[in-house]
Structure 1
Amino acid sequence: MSSATFLEKLLDGIAVEWTVLGDERFVEAANAARRPVKASLRVAGETPYYGANNIQDYVDGYTHDGEYVLIAEDGSASLENYSIQYVTGKFWANNHVHVVRGKQGLNTRFLYHYLRIVDFIPYLPNKDRSKLTKGEMIKIPLPIPCPENPKKSLEIQAEIVRILDTFTELTAELTAELTARKKQYNHYRDQLLSFEDGDVEWKTLGDEEFFEVASGGTPSTGKPEYWDDGNVPWLKSESCNNEPVYSANKFITELGLKKSSAKLLQKETTLIALVGATIFKTAFLEFSAATNQNIASIKSKNAEVISDKFVFYFLTSLYDELKSEMRNYGMLNLFTLRQFKIPVPSPKEQASIVGILDKFDTLTNSITEGLPREIALRQRQYEYYRDLLFSFPKPEEVAA
């Protein structure tokens, strides 16, 4: 069914009025109560404290109580990353969000779904540090079906909300199941990779008979010939997310590889982030690639004795422990990394452990199989029907 036919049936010939978020007939802007709380003054509590990107903390007290939509004030100049949040009950909103809700003729949940398709870029005057001012926010267009008949209008809005909430609820259920499976996966992984000192032989990553450990490099950005039309995949530390990595977003040239400390790594190499937000996180190369200097690479020199995938799983299992000790590290360097000990059970036991963890990994992380694929499909369905249900004719289209 085409979008026009679908909407015509839903609206049943009823007109749609286009207004703006500043129209006080339909929208209440509850910005006055927003206020920041200095971290040193926050009192721990149960009230969610919202900023531009979801919950920042839990505090005592609240600024709002009810059903609201939070629109990021400090945003991102891209539709995909712009933060729109739906909140109910008591909460604290800081001064980095606009707080709005529907009045008598506007369903707040309808407003939330609609705002998720709005292109905010024209309303962000400063493209370097995007800031949605209230003066610009109130100019954002807003469709109101059948405004002259509030009862009919709210029925139409409620039907649109019902359809879209069906998809979001299913996605939420699948996401909760994925979270539970990941917790189960982490439990079994830690059990499988738990060895006592006397049970198996241990090797340090600095044992050059068994491991090759190195860091990467970055070709000079002032040399276009090192980057332009490059065909060598090149990874930054953001690629380390404790899971296999299958592709690269950046590429360097063969000359850039030769003229820098970057190294072309073999497939099935383990990576670990040395600095930044992903410090201690790992990745497992599923293709040949180079990395920058903020990533260390670990490669087994004798795969028959110690499997590369086993090394990856073991180092990944250390993440929580290392993260808890992060205060002791300004960064991870190769000297410290080479002190890490790796257990070396029999090749048969390694293969068994890797086989079990690979199956869990497919269920929890695979984008072609398992729950992540199902979640992605449901999200695409939601986006398809959301775009369909909000494809109201614009004023110029109506006039034509």
Structure 2
Amino acid sequence: MNKLEKLINELCPDGVPIQEFGKLAKILRGASPRPINKFITSDESGVNWIKIGDINTGNKYVTNSKEKITEEGAKKSRFVKKGDFILSNSMSFGRPYILGIDGCIHDGWLSISGFENYFISDFLYHLLSSSKIQRVMAQKASSGGAVQNLNAEIVKSIELCVPPLAVQEEIVRILDTFTELTTELTTELTTELTMRKQQYEYYRDSLLINNKFSERVLLKSVVKKGCSGATPKKGEEKFYLNGTVPWLRTQDVKFNEIFEINSFITEEAVKKTSAKWIPANCVIVAISGATAGRCAINKVPTTTNQHCYNMEIDETKALYKYIYYCVYSQYEELLSRKQGARGDLNSSLILGITIPLPPLEEQQRIVDILDRFDILVNDIKEGLPAEIAMRKQQYEYYRDKLLTFKKLEK
């Protein structure tokens, strides 16, 4: 029998009491002095003005606020103390946070205080974050299918289990240990990913940017055919409805090989607009706005939007995968060439970059080396969120299991 089971058998063998939250804590809505701009101050002696925007997603504690309000404003607001809870009652409502600072809260928050006789703060945090309680809050805040804001009365009506404090302490210890192990693993994986990326970039730059042994040529000298795509007129159903022609968009161009395309246009769009088919294994460069300079390889024939510049490589001179790596290695150079208010590229700016051009056999050797690094980096990159998601699911499963108690019958 583990320690938690022993405590439960000793302290609450018949179950734990279930009570409405409003009987266990003081729950109040925040308040906003208006107009708020009148009360914002840069004076260091001002009172912390805690807003939803001050909270980082996933954080447990509120440790700072970007703005302060005057003492006069504080009198018209809701003052909260370090150690109290605040609960968002709008937008992403129902998320609990423990205050690490004193301050005032606006009416987008509820304050929760005076629970110390019933709950340890960390236990209450886990309890309010649990799947069951989050579902209850969502259900109670809904009316006729439309999600409404939480209010103090709804939160007061939520029924919570109240195990003995010693049981709460042991549950907190277990869940905190689990969280520490997850954080440690995530840090290790992130560090490994960073190191592998640095290795990859070092070898890539050594082979492609600092290569002094191969003749350098203009990119255009190895391009058999280049073209931009097109975006058929929006609102014209005949160009989009039931389309079967794959149509690659710029947001899908992100230093990758593209095997699947999820946007489509019609055959009529190809016939009546500038959209055109390109063969598989073109090197595609995004040429517009925030995505400009990113590159990809289409592994299937496709059309593209007008923000893609598509290069079919002359296979007698260069390997398409080698050219992809060359363009990838010059991402910063391409960024420096962007023009106009949006920061666009064009065919001349792209085709004007220079690349080393060794014999095809040497190109293949370089591709093989970079492919191995790319696979390693991407395996870790894909494995990292998958591992984190799995750990999160494990934590939530055990948290919900640990927070499920038999109800004490009176």
- The structure richer in helix per residue is 2
Alpha-carbon distance in 2 for matches of 1:320, 1:374 = 26
Please list, as runs of the form range in 1=range in 2, the aligned pairs for 1:1-400 lying within 5 A after superposition. Answer: 14-15=15-16, 17=18, 25=25, 51=53, 54=56, 62-63=64-65, 104=116, 105=119, 106-107=121-122, 110=126, 114=130, 118=134, 135=151, 144=160, 146-195=161-210, 199-205=214-220, 207=221, 210-300=223-313, 302-323=314-335, 330-366=343-379, 370=380, 372-373=382-383, 375-387=385-397, 389-390=399-400
Alpha-carbon distance in 2 for matches of 1:180, 1:381 = 23
Alpha-carbon distance in 2 for matches of 1:305, 1:17 = 76
Report SS of the residue matched to 2:264: strand
> Is contact 1:213–1:298 with CA below 8 Å preserved after alignment?
yes
C-alpha deviations, 1:22-60, integer Å up to 9, x for none?
99838899999xx99xxxx9xxxxxxx9947959xxxxx
> Is contact 1:117–1:387 with CA below 8 Å preserved after alignment?
no
Alpha-carbon distance in 2 for matches of 1:330, 1:279 = 8
Q: Which amino acid aligns with 1:358?
A: D
What is the number of equivalent residue pairs in this alignment? 356
Deviation for aligned residue 1:94: 12
Give the aligned CA root-mean-square deviation in angstroms: 5.2
Q: Which runs of 4+ in 1 moved over 6 A?
A: 26-32, 64-76, 84-90, 92-95, 97-103, 119-125, 140-143, 391-394
User: Normalising by structure 1, what TM-score?
Assistant: 0.66
* Structure 1: gaps of 5 or more residues: 1-7, 42-48, 56-60, 77-81
C-alpha deviations, 1:339-383, integer Å up to 9, x for none?
2223312112211111011011111114xxx55236414523532
Deviation for aligned residue 1:88: 10
Q: Which amino acid aligns with 2:187?
A: A
Q: Which amino acid aligns with 2:282?
A: T
C-alpha deviations, 1:243-268, integer Å up to 9, x for none?
22332232223333333322222222
CA 293–93 in structure 1, closer or farther in 2 if over 3 Å, else same: farther
Q: Which amino acid aligns with 2:197?
A: K
User: Normalising by structure 2, what TM-score?
Assistant: 0.65
> Is contact 2:126–2:399 with CA below 8 Å preserved after alignment?
no
Alpha-carbon distance in 2 for matches of 1:194, 1:382 = 41
Q: Percent identity?
A: 24
> Is contact 2:209–2:329 with CA below 8 Å preserved after alignment?
no
Report SS of the residue matched to 1:219: coil
CA 322–338 in structure 1, closer or farther in 2 if over 3 Å, else same: closer
Q: Please name the residue that 2:48 is paired with.
A: none
> Is contact 1:31–1:99 with CA below 8 Å preserved after alignment?
no
* Structure 2: gaps of 5 or more residues: 1-7, 43-50, 58-62, 67-80
Alpha-carbon distance in 1 for matches of 2:375, 2:13 = 46
CA 280–393 in structure 1, closer or farther in 2 if over 3 Å, else same: same
Alpha-carbon distance in 1 for matches of 2:343, 2:318 = 30
